[in-house]
A and B are shown apart, each in its own frame.
Chain A
């Protein structure tokens, strides 16, 4: 195998960030314990540099390492989103880890390693590479979930996430093996070439289904969602914020790429499965969220529900007429979800106190009176999660439902809007508590936290008026086919 500079160009952002993370691991040794904020800054700098590099790659399409990784509009879009998520994740963690007494330099390096895994996932064009990327993104997250040790909840979250995650990864490996057995290759382009020749065998379908199970776990789709509430609740909140956006983005990116490029010929079998998965995820996520009294658990179920909405973008993947539109809609929805989600978790972090106090929804009573700006921001996030104007959530849903209807899945769209209605009930409860109940909430004032919540709230509103740029970018971010 002859490697040319062009091969490396495909992976430059990934390599850059990996090297940066490795060096940071060393540099961190020399940073005194009480100044770990410096590590955070350096990590953020690395992310920003990588982001800049990725933005310079817009428009370039290339295959590298003999077709194992690709660089295309899709990967550029997803990687940029992942890096922004990483930056937001660091901004939220900066004060939080200090306050909770878990400030250690590894936090930030682990975050960076996880992001490299996610980025590789978005670029992978080979099932083996996808598997490697999956492990690379997951293992740091397992550790981060347990980062608040010796707090029992956090350790439990880490352990649970690890055990179930390892189990799910097993599904991916097994699925990969079956696909290899059916087609003789793990490369996506070879798989699709094989399947286009003859009738795709049952083995291939089973393999694809197993891969779907593995990723369904990562993105928290029902019925593979059981870990989500416990892990989201137990993990340090800043980790949860990052995990609920980053891992989802990466998981969906991989799923989209694998299914749209490698498995279009078994779409007839998979569409119904995806349909049911999406419907089930929306229904279960939203209905169970109603009965939650803990804000972290509620947002966990909300994130399950939103996985269901994003899954809707997959359903028409076998239909070439609407595939690109629905992928673009899915990507746009991921952006709108990530921005809103980070903001909402930011507010949660602002109210959280030691020993897990300040996490009940009832603790938000009186926020509207005492901290109007924070309450207004939270209201914006809740409206966006429901999908109401003037927020990006509405635009995202509009885009997504349009793709689903254009694909001919009107009933799925109906389930989608009806479950949105259900979701309005529990999101509104937060607003009710903040504005219409009396209480004396206490919040932490931290510069970066405040900036993050403020900025995400602003973006959530402003992007709803000017989504053009993002629309255009998302619709160009189509998958490169071989």
Chain B
């Protein structure tokens, strides 16, 4: 009982209660299924707030630890080990926050096999929570790989026309990286006689040449997930084909698992190798920022545009992380949250309009702001947040990252920071281009097209507003007063940066 009542255990596994209830609801009672899933994810969010209330940001150690021996026979030393610190608290909250929002977004969008959808979605939430909370490498790997399975089904069953291709590509691509990490995990486990991350960090004696290979193996898994250029090609396919809720979670949380992996594992476990790799990662991140922005601009499909913008935004996160100073890392972690909110919201909005028009071709839209003023205004706010307008959340993250990247000792040159700053401008170009095409100018042909079949395009309804407004609150909150968010992670970030052997 004590085991089950640990706050973090509850937080991770509560969605399973929802899964169990779902199993006993008949498949044709769609609303009961939806409410159950929503209820389970809301309770999980409640638990995450309860966890936040118990969290002490000034303590840099793992908190609310749930640690039990799991497999300790035959030379194995695997523990059930969950813990939380300043590096992960925000991501945990983001996950718990986005889950009910995503479920709300499926209310009318998913009509087929609702039961299966909700089952997979709640299972996915378990996996994501586990990834952010696990402090034992074996346990982490299990959660990490497990997230693949429900996401694969979400894309493959409820996705667009090329869903099977996208689902399989997503699965194989991500698995390719993970299995290399598996070998590195095994090597560490044999070498350190434990899989516990804090213990491995405390030992901190992996020989430098081996550190390099282990770093690369872990980086392979995480870089694909982020995704870093040039390993990003699964992302547009997965995003475009995934159902809206899948895209939101994919962009909002799953990609963060990659960047989080770098913070949690690569930097502290392999500090020397990380410093050695920093200039190269910064190079790839900068290419990603510029490439993602340019390719975004070239898109005709609005969902693809948003998908490629993720490549660009996550380039910033990677740049900040490998700047390896407090501003850089703190900015990167905040930018993970920002990207989750802004891009998540963009996918939600795109999904809302797609539900009515069934097309994502930007050229058929136009003048939407006049017809749907509320929708248009919200879209504008989210777009501005995504491109980093001061006063909104995106600016705070990107600015702090660039501040860190300038004069970063680990990167060693300012060229990347300067080039990346160009990325901010390019973001404005493609985002405003999208907004202009869809919401301004003469009325697009799709408006009449939709009218032919019924009432024409309507503005947001109450459910859609309930879905999107919570995100807007945070977009403003982080933009105007980011201090509470920085305070949550600052000591942990300082502690992490202090461990790195920066020349």
Contacts and interface: CB of A to CB of B under 8 A. Distances in A.
B164 A472 contact: no
Nearest to A476: B74
A402 B188 CA distance: 10
B358 interface: no
Interface string B109-131: 00001001000000000000000
Interface string B161-193: 001100110011001100110110011011000
B500 interface: no
B153 interface: yes
B179 A421 contact: yes
Contact of A402 (B143, B167, B189): B189
B464 interface: no
A424 B171 contact: yes
B179 A467 contact: no
A76 to B, nearest CB: 17
Interface residues of A, number: 34
B73 A468 contact: yes
> Most B CB atoms within 10 A — which of A325, A389, A417, A471?
A389
Interface in A395-429: 398, 401-402, 405-406, 410, 413-414, 417-418, 420-421, 424-425, 428
Interface string B139-156: 001110110110011001
Most B-side CB within 10 Å, residue of A428, A436, A467: A436
A390 B141 CA distance: 11
A292 interface: no
B186 A383 contact: no
B229 interface: no
Contact of B146 (A390, A398, A432, A436): A390
Nearest to A433: B164
B171 A398 contact: no
Contact of A418 (B75, B76, B157, B179): B179
A388 interface: yes
Contact of A428 (B73, B113, B171, B189): B171
A372 B27 CA distance: 12
Nearest to A437: B164
Nearest to A390: B146
A475 interface: yes
B146 A414 contact: no
Nearest to A420: B179
A435 interface: yes
Contacts of B190: 402, 405-406
Given A383-B149, A405-B186, A471 B71 contact: yes
Interface in B77-99: none
A399 to B, nearest CB: 8
B142 A389 contact: yes
A394 interface: yes
The residue among B74, B148, B163, B179 with the most chain A CB atoms within 10 A of its own CB is B74
B217 to A, nearest CB: 10
Contacts, number: 88
A52 to B, nearest CB: 25
Contacts of A325: 74-75
Contacts of B141: 389
B148 A388 contact: yes
Nearest to B130: A389
B138 interface: yes
A88 interface: no
A372 B153 CA distance: 14
A471 B77 CA distance: 12
Contact of A436 (B70, B148, B157, B189): B157
Nearest to B163: A436
Tell me whether chain A's interface is mostly helix, strand or loop, or mixed.
Answer: helix
B157 A435 contact: yes
B164 A388 contact: no
A405 B187 CA distance: 7
Given A328-B74, A417-B179, A424 B142 contact: no
Interface in A455-477: 467-468, 471-472, 474-475
A477 to B, nearest CB: 11
B71 A421 contact: no
Contacts of B176: 421
Nearest to B144: A389
Nearest to A325: B75
Nearest to B159: A436
A401 B138 CA distance: 13
Which of B76, B143, B157, B167 has the most chain A CB atoms closer than 10 A to its own CB?
A: B76
A73 to B, nearest CB: 13
A398 B164 contact: no
Given A428-B171, A436-B156, A475 B186 contact: no
A369 B114 CA distance: 12
Nearest to A329: B74
A432 B164 contact: yes
B73 A405 contact: no
Interface in A372-397: 372, 383, 388-390, 394
A413 B153 CA distance: 29
B183 A471 contact: no
A421 B220 CA distance: 14
Contact of B182 (A417, A424, A475): A417
A337 B366 CA distance: 58
A390 B142 contact: yes
B175 A424 contact: yes
A405 B184 CA distance: 10
A432 B156 contact: yes
A147 B144 CA distance: 46
Interface in B58-73: 70-73
Given A390-B142, A417-B180, A398 B167 contact: no
8 contacts: A325-B74, A325-B75, A388-B148, A389-B143, A405-B186, A420-B179, A425-B168, A475-B74
Interface of A: 325, 328, 368-369, 372, 383, 388-390, 394, 398, 401-402, 405-406, 410, 413-414, 417-418, 420-421, 424-425, 428, 432, 435-436, 467-468, 471-472, 474-475
Interface of B: 70-76, 113, 116, 138, 141-143, 145-146, 148-149, 152-153, 156-157, 163-164, 167-168, 171-172, 175-176, 179-180, 182-183, 186-187, 189-190
Given A405-B190, A436-B164, 12 more contacts: A325-B75, A368-B116, A389-B143, A390-B146, A394-B142, A402-B189, A414-B180, A428-B152, A428-B171, A436-B156, A436-B163, A471-B73
